[in-house]
Amino acid sequence: MRANSLHALDLAHVVHQQTDLDAHAREGALLIARGEGVHVWDTEGNRYIEAMAGLWCASLGFSERRLAEAAYRQLLELPYYHTFFQKGHEPSVRLAEKLTAIAPRGLNHVLFQCSGSEANDAAIKLIWYYNNLVGRPQKKKLIGRIRGYHGNTVAAASVSGQPHMHADFDLPYGGRFLHLSNPHYYRAHEPGETEEAFSARMAAELEALIEREGGETIAAMFAEPVQGGGGAITPPRGYFELIQPILKKHDIMLVADEVICGFGRTGNLWGSETYRLEPDILTCAKQLSASYQPISATLISDRIHAALIEGSRKNGTFGHGFTYGAHPVACAVALETLKIYEERDILGHVRRVSPAFLEGLGRFRDHPLVGDVRGIGLIAGVEVMADKARRTPFPPERKAGLVVQKACQDNGLIVRAIGDRIAFTPPLIITEEEIAAMCEAFGRGLDAAWAVLR
Ligand code: PLP
């Protein structure tokens, strides 16, 4: 590596996020230089199919000019303003109008910020604030799930169930965070246990937790309709149908974290629609702006909003806000994104290509390394197993998932290993031909990995 090369400077100065920094110090990073459609090119000129849409987010691919133009127009018109102190601007009003029109029933008010983490952090603050205002200050605990992923602020990382985000960070913080088992049917079911029976076992665990802690101390449960950072894991049959009545019985709010699922990923506009969730709060980000600008939204009900107004009668100023929350350029880009989704019928497109995606990946069930393939819409996970007949995983030190990920990269395909589960969430614009090319590259990557791991 040349001194002062981009790679050397990267190693010298950039602290990479969610990265094995020890491996990075030895191996360096893949630096991406440009993108077009579902492809990106690295600084050496190699082309990749971006089967993760970056971080589950570049829904319209990497070269949508209309979004660049929407940002440019807004930058010329009003490059910055805020929504503090009874001020505001048109892009945030228009976006809020649009979002509440398409949101699940009853979510009529929106708080805009810059990231999914902030959206979930804000949800947590609003829940605590709300419960104080309605006179139940003891109802504050929050339930997450092991391997759930809700972001990286202190509170969002605490409700997340990712061990590496807790270890040595002194998280979860403050004793208010509880975690349920990961409802990952393939890995966690007992021999002979059906999906329905597994879901019932998960629901019984929730009941036992509430019994143990006291329902009057638990404020909310956070759940991604399909778990992303946990491994692109679809919920087992019957899971949310059993979970929701238990929450309702104890007046525990459900927060649907739609940061990945929102805007078509599961083949409906919302993952909540796909899995019949009735959230009290919904958070979204990523595909809201096709990720061309950082923006997220926390959608709340009239009931919660009314309490916030009541709160200002008591406390004066609503004490929450970010300088760049509801940034007009991000709002303008998000509005244009939603317009494109409708004009190009992106939802219809996802439904049309989803069978090719799921069947294409499903064919790898016959590969000696693959134990299971599951997904919905344009999100799927592939289980890499040492002995698929016995459901035996590789020992962690073999880093089997990373071996597959690297072999795919060498074959022009960017996927993500989450443990030994390989996640796929390509841009929503991917065509059937590109899906075929993606599967072909995955096959080459798997074969190369098999040569190492067998
Ligand atoms: N929630 C979910 C489900 C996510 O997948 C993510 C990020 O991947 C977040 C929240 C955090 O979003 P951000 O990285 O924009 O803070």
User: What's the one-letter identity of residue 200?
Assistant: A
| Ligand 1 site-directed mutation target among 113, 117, 154, most atoms within 8 Å of CB | 117
CA distance 180 to 142: 11
Verify cis geometry, omega within 30 degrees of 0, for the bond prior to 172: yes
Long-range contacts, stretch 45-49, CB < 8 angstroms, 24+ apart:
46/412, 47/412, 48/409, 48/412, 48/413, 48/414, 49/412, 49/413, 49/414, 49/426, 49/434, 49/437, 49/438, 49/441
CA of 345 to the centre of ligand 1 (A): 25
Q: What is the pLDDT of residue 278?
A: 97
* pLDDT higher than threshold 90 for residue 344: yes
Q: Which helix (H) or strand (E) holds 40?
A: strand 39-42
Q: How far apart are the first and last CA of the chain?
A: 32
Reported confidence tier of residue 29, pLDDT bands at 50, 70, 90 = very high
Please list the helix, strand and coil fractions of the chain in percent, rounded to the nearest 5, in that order. Answer: 45, 15, 40
ipTM of the complex: 0.99
Is residue 257 lining ligand 1, measured as CB closer than 6 Å? yes
Is residue 117 lining ligand 1, measured as CB closer than 6 Å? yes
Q: What is the mean pLDDT of the chain?
A: 97
Q: What is the pLDDT of residue 4?
A: 84
CB atoms within 10 A of CB 245: 10
Which pTM was predicted? 0.98
Contact 40, 48 (CB under 8 A): yes
Reported confidence tier of residue 168, pLDDT bands at 50, 70, 90 = very high
Q: What is the pLDDT of residue 176?
A: 98
Share of the chain above pLDDT 90, in %: 99
CA distance 384 to 392: 10
Decide: residue 425, CB within 10 A, 0-12 exposed, 13-18 middle, 19+ buried.
buried
Non-local (6+) Cβ contacts of 354 within 8 A are 267, 376, 377, 378
The radius of gyration of the chain's CA atoms, rounded to the nearest angstrom, is 22
* pLDDT higher than threshold 80 for residue 1: no
CA distance 77 to 70: 11
Is residue 120 lining ligand 1, measured as CB closer than 6 Å? yes
Q: What are the pLDDT digits (tens) for 239-276? A: 999 999 999 999 999 999 999 999 999 999 999 999 99
Structure tokens at 399: 């880093």
Q: What are the pLDDT digits (tens) for 363-422? A: 999 999 999 999 999 999 999 999 999 999 999 999 999 999 999 999 999 999 999 999
Share of the chain above pLDDT 70, in %: 100
Is residue 228 lining ligand 1, measured as CB closer than 6 Å? yes
Is residue 229 lining ligand 1, measured as CB closer than 6 Å? yes
Q: What is the pLDDT of residue 232?
A: 98
Q: What are the pLDDT digits (tens) for 35-85? A: 999 999 999 999 999 999 999 999 999 999 999 999 999 999 999 999 999
* pLDDT higher than threshold 80 for residue 448: yes
Q: What is the pLDDT of residue 6?
A: 96
Please provide the DSSP assignment of 60-76 as one string. Answer: TTT--HHHHHHHHHHHH
Exposure pattern of 292-302 as b/e (b: 16+ CB <10 Å)? Answer: bbbbbbbbbbe
In what side-by-side order are the strands of the sheet with 416-418?
Answer: 370-376, 379-384, 421-424, 416-418
Non-local (6+) Cβ contacts of 362 within 8 A are 373
Q: What is the pLDDT of residue 2?
A: 75
CA distance 130 to 132: 5
Q: Which helix (H) or strand (E) holds 348?
A: helix 346-362
Q: What are the pLDDT digits (tens) for 274-296? A: 999 999 999 999 999 999 999 99
CA nearest to 191, candidates 450, 35, 389? 389
CA of 33 to the centre of ligand 1 (A): 24
Residue in the block written with tokens 């016959």 = 366
Q: What are the pLDDT digits (tens) for 378-387? A: 999 999 999 9
Give the phi and the psi of residue 332 in degrees, each rounded to 5.
Answer: -65, -40
Q: For residue 57, which atom of ligand 1 is closest to its CA?
A: 8
CA of 4 to the centre of ligand 1 (A): 33
* pLDDT higher than threshold 80 for residue 98: yes
Is residue 285 lining ligand 1, measured as CB closer than 6 Å? yes
CA nearest to 18, candidates 50, 54, 44? 54
CA distance 359 to 38: 20
Decide: residue 439, CB within 10 A, 0-12 exposed, 13-18 middle, 19+ buried.
buried
Q: What are the pLDDT digits (tens) for 196-230? A: 999 999 999 999 999 999 999 999 999 999 999 99
Q: What are the pLDDT digits (tens) for 107-151? A: 999 999 999 999 999 999 999 999 999 999 999 999 999 999 999
CA nearest to 261, candidates 425, 36, 68? 425
